[in-house]
């Protein structure tokens, strides 16, 4: 039983507050209910402990003096939250090297949307997801592939972190295709981070010499296939984040 001090003064514990200016004295959900729902949504989002502190508001504190493209990415993230429309289904693809702040921004977006819009969000590590799916094929594991994938399919907003981090194979490509195509067809918003440049696969770049092809770094096209890279361009706005690895930069500075 709640004590008097625990009862919300705005709604007297009912969860609803009066809106005098509304026709016939309407009611709306009280802020205390929105805060409680926000806490529930945050728990359900499964954000890893490493990223629990990440907010859009503290991005510049964690990444001071960042490259101009990183600063512009922060502006793009804030605008995405302001203009978010769940009916649109269009997400973001954050592309950049290791340690440029992609996951920080993506988690910050999730938190803002949960707090301000009450959106249901889910953080999903790409490598861990593929491991869970593979484990579901083991007879000793109770979870089925569909049980693993259903929340990924159905999340209102999915953050798929480090897309392309697993060595490509036919099974990996098929799994990525299933996830992205299902969310695309259901018009669900997907926010994706990747360390791989948003460039075509080697097989598409026919004019490249053999020596140059061998020396080039792998691209997103190499890791997920050109068909899915094309699909991402339909699903997401591309945001590029250049610059140094801030984690390595601060680590080196701490020993200086």
Number of structural domains (the chain) is: 1
Distance CA 151, CA 3 (A): 37
Among the residue ranges 126-135, 156-165, 167-176, 208-217, the one predicted with the least confidence is 208-217
Does some domain include residue 248?
Answer: no
* pLDDT score, position 143: 84
Does some domain include residue 220?
Answer: yes
| Domain range for 124 | 23-243
Does some domain include residue 205?
Answer: yes
Burial 48-65 (b: 16+ CB within 10 A, else e): eeebeebbbeebeeebee
Does some domain include residue 11?
Answer: no
235 sits in which H/E element = helix 226-235
Does some domain include residue 213?
Answer: yes
Does some domain include residue 42?
Answer: yes
Selection from 112, 133, 131 nearest residue 54 by Cα = 112
Distance CA 182, CA 194 (A): 20
Of the pLDDT bands very low, low, confident and very high (cuts 50, 70, 90), residue 245 is confident
Domain of 84: which CATH number? 3.40.50.300
Put residue 119 in one of left, alpha, beta given phi > 0 → left and psi -120 to 50 → alpha: beta
pLDDT tens per residue, range 112-134: 999 888 899 999 999 999 999 99
């Amino acid at each position: 039983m709640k004590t008097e001090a625990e009862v919300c003064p705005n709604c007297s514990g009912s969860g609803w507050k009066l809106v005098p200016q509304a026709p016939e004295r309407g009611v709306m959900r009280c802020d205390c209910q929105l805060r409680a729902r926000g806490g529930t949504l945050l728990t359900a989002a499964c954000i890893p402990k490493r990223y629990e502190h990440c907010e859009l508001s503290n991005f510049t504190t964690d990444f001071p003096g960042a490259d101009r493209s990183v600063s512009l990415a922060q502006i793009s993230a804030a605008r995405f939250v302001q203009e978010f429309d769940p009916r649109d289904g269009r997400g973001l693809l954050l592309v950049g090297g290791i340690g440029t702040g992609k996951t920080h921004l993506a988690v910050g977006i999730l938190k803002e949307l949960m707090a301000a819009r009450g959106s249901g969000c889910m953080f999903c590590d790409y490598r861990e997801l593929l491991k869970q799916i593979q484990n579901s094929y083991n007879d000793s594991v109770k979870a089925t592939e569909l049980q693993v994938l259903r929340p990924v399919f159905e999340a209102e907003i999915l953050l798929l972190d480090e897309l392309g981090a697993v060595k490509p194979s036919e099974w990996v490509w098929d799994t990525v295709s299933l996830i992205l195509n299902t969310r695309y067809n259901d018009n669900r918003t997907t926010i994706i981070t990747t360390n791989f440049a948003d460039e075509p696969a080697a097989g598409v770049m026919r004019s490249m010499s053999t020596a140059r092809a061998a020396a080039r770094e792998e691209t997103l096209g190499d890791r997920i296939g050109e068909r899915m890279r094309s699909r991402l361009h339909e699903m997401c706005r591309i945001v590029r984040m250049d610059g140094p690895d801030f984690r390595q930069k601060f680590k080196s500075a701490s020993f200086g």
